[in-house]
Structure 1
Amino acid sequence: MYDFARGWEAARVHGKWFMLATVRDETRLVSMKAHPDDVQALTHEFAAVQPGYHLNKRHWITVLPNADADERLVTALVLESYLAVVAKLPKRDRPADLGAFASSLRAELLE
């Protein structure tokens, strides 16, 4: 994580954003990329998931503190955001076997 702008932290992989975080009115907001179909499904399924705060609402979601936003959900959403960005990197910048890398990362983080 590094400071992106005043009051914002950002996470990148090879210069591409996959997560932003800030605090607004004492509330921690975590925003991450998501596939457009997933944005719609997640915002309908979870009260804590909203369209991206000050971001492209088609490709970003923001998770607010809420009873249905447990650590496992946030971890899974950040992981999927990271993997989506990695998948679009040039081949030279991706892990050699992206599928195996994704599976091992999911297993490690979501045990």
Structure 2
Amino acid sequence: MKTSIIAYCLKKQGAMKEYPFGPEILVLKVGGKIFALIFEEAEDEFRLNLKCDPVIAENLREQHEAVRPGYHMNKKHWNTVMVDGSLPLTDIFDMINHSYDLVVGKLPKSVRESLLEMK
């Protein structure tokens, strides 16, 4: 499942992967800004940090035991998703889309336009 999630993130326009915090934490960025962190523990059970609108973040935490306040992040704007099989992959992909869109929406106009040109 982790491989599918990483591949999905990397298909996002302008997405790049880095390991600035060491080999255990995969950081996915767009326009130099983080939209996802993957804590590389095990293939079938790991943590994924995603940016989230604060109201939606609270709702997701109430609805899903696997969604928690962001681990080592601003807990108002980030969620940690425990990828343990309890959430459908489509729900995780929706959360990734939301995180990516939030980050892209805050990028300078010139960077957003360059992302569109990549298509």
Q: TM-score if structure 2 supplies the norm length?
A: 0.73
Query: Higher relative contact order at CA 8 Å, sep ≥6: structure 1 or structure 2?
Result: 2
Q: Deviations over 1:87-106 (max 9, x none)?
A: 1111111148x8xx9xxxxx
Identity of aligned residues (%): 32
- SS of 2:19's equivalent in the other structure is strand
Q: Deviations over 1:17-68 (max 9, x none)?
A: 0100113588410011001111111100111111101111100001113444
**Which segments of 5 or more consecutive residues in structure 1 lack a partner in the other structure?**
102-111
User: Residue 95 and residue 70 in structure 1: after superposition, are their counterparts in 2 closer, same or farther (change >3 A)?
Assistant: farther
Query: Root-mean-square deviation (CA), in Å?
Result: 2.2
Match of 1:109 in 2: none
One-letter code of the match for 1:9? L
Q: Is the 8 A contact 1:39 1:59 kept in 2?
A: yes
One-letter code of the match for 1:76? D
- Runs of 4+ aligned residues of structure 1 deviating over 4 Å after TM superposition are none
Q: TM-score if structure 1 supplies the norm length?
A: 0.78
One-letter code of the match for 1:11? L
- SS of 1:62's equivalent in the other structure is strand
- SS of 1:5's equivalent in the other structure is coil
Q: Is the 8 A contact 2:48 2:83 kept in 1?
A: no
Match of 2:93 in 1: 75
Matched length: 98
Q: Distance in 2 between matches of 1:67 and 1:2?
A: 26
One-letter code of the match for 1:84? L
Match of 1:19 in 2: 36
Q: Is the 8 A contact 1:47 1:66 kept in 2?
A: no
Match of 1:104 in 2: none
One-letter code of the match for 2:37? L
